Structure 1
Amino acid sequence: MEDQGLAVSQTLPEIFEAVAGKELEHSRTNSEPITPSEDDVAEAERLKTEGNDQMKAENFEAAVSFYGKAIELNPSNAVYFCNRAAAYSKLGNYAGAVRDCERAIGIDPNYSKAYGRMGLALSSLNKHTEAVVYYKKALELDPDNETYKSNLKIAEQKMKETPSPTGGPGGFDLAGLLNNPGFMSMASNLMNNPQVQQLMSGMISGGHNAMGAAGSSPSTNDLASLIQAGQQFAQQMQQQNPELIEQLRSQIRSRTPSASNEEQQE
């Protein structure tokens, strides 16, 4: 109290008010969108076109890079985010695709392709209920898009399916396959093949011996022979029961969302 050199010219409330005012002004400045120059807009378009070319050449990582540079120059263009979402999906980065679709929709809420690509990414993440919502919105904005219609049906079908202990990925009907007499007959013939039995016996005994002695695991030749036997089994199935093979292929195709229209970058 006696040291006048420590005295301040403002009271504590005055200091707080001054600092709070500066923070508010700073946040307003940062939140204001930055308008890109004409040169930046032109360069961003060039980078986007380069990204599209990389997508056509299936260089998806390079496409992501070009779209990212375009976004840095012009972050208010929804197309750039939507295109990068497609590239992310091609790389299996569906979470990244979802984020970019959200950004694109935030910029342009009426951008049908962003909703369609969001649905595709969510379907790939097995979030079929959410995918249905986005496909419906995409169709609302683009009612004649056949890809959206097809993908919506697939998502609705998967949403209604209940997981089965005998079902594989995408609701694959493994139980029906095991109940198919033609398939089981050929599988039985394969397992009764002396060569296959010998290979399986050697691999099993090798596995047991491996716990007690190093280097006694199945050889590469054994594995290659088993793979060859499996390939022969597949060829036998194709020759003896082509209807079953086509049935399985049709089932897989009908459960896979299509990205045909979404591949056309803008």
Structure 2
Amino acid sequence: MPSDQTSKDLALGIVDFLKSAIADGTITSDDAESVEVAIECLSDVFQVDESRKEQVYGKQNLLSIFNAFQRLKERKKSSEPAETTEAAPSGPSEADKAKAEELKAQGNKAMGLKDYGSAIDFYTQAINLDPTNAIYLSNRAAAHSFSGAHEEAADDARAAIKIDSNYTKAYSRLGLALYSLGDAEGAVNAYSNGLKLEGATPSEAMKRGFETAKKKVAEDLDSVVPVTTDEEEISSRSAPSDSGAGAGAGAGGFDLNSLMNNPAIAQMAQKFMSNPGALSDMLNNPALKGMMDNVKNSGSMPDMNDLMNNPMLQNMAKNFMGNKK
């Protein structure tokens, strides 16, 4: 196999290295036979001429040359200037902070003019310059609330709290946003956290917001679980429990379904329809007026059984229907 002289000289160095490794015990006796076979193969393939060793390597060998190369490489590496990497900025620059404050002032001015769209824009620019400032986010939350964007207001308030959990105004802005979204319970929690941080001197806005949200929670609870008064409880206990009263039965046993299905009552109603004056005469009856006054004063309907068995009413009905006995 033809080969250039450089390859042959390199193969010479490898053969010399392997023979030295066998001689000094680097290669164990168990492996020596295999390595010797490899040496023979290399010598044949590259036509190694061992007589050229001193001419090619002098007093060196392949191992010493490699070690020298490694030392040179290390020295070169140590002499090279260390690579400098720019540290990531730890926060906004002083110039950015100053500009952000100017933008915040412009946003506050726009809020005073009720120009909430411009205020949001100014606060957004300030946040972009200094995203670590909770005040900018809280102020934008207020602008969102005034413009009716309550979801965005809640998001900004939460972001402000995440940056600075001790910034109380953010809790007030969050409470207002949640209340406006119909989450009165969440608003109570937000205002409550703000009040805890404000301590002995709570702000009027925080107190007012908390009380308003708490009242709304109570109203929502009352609408789900109606409060029963003592009078209603007594009335319900005194009502007949007989299931035969039907779905139309009310307080005092007043059964509207039974009343409407009573033939006598139906006939009486037809009589009233054909003779309106008779109804007026009946309602002006002193005894009946007294009974109706009692119903008005007591606030409850009379017992239907009592009405049907009342002799006075029975007599009035007979006279009205023309059924005298």
Q: Normalising by the residue count of structure 1, what TM-score does the alignment of the two structures yield? A: 0.48
Q: Which has the larger radius of gyration?
A: 2
Output the TM-score relative to the length of structure 2. Answer: 0.40
**Higher relative CO (CA 8 A, sep ≥ 6), structure 1 or 2?**
1
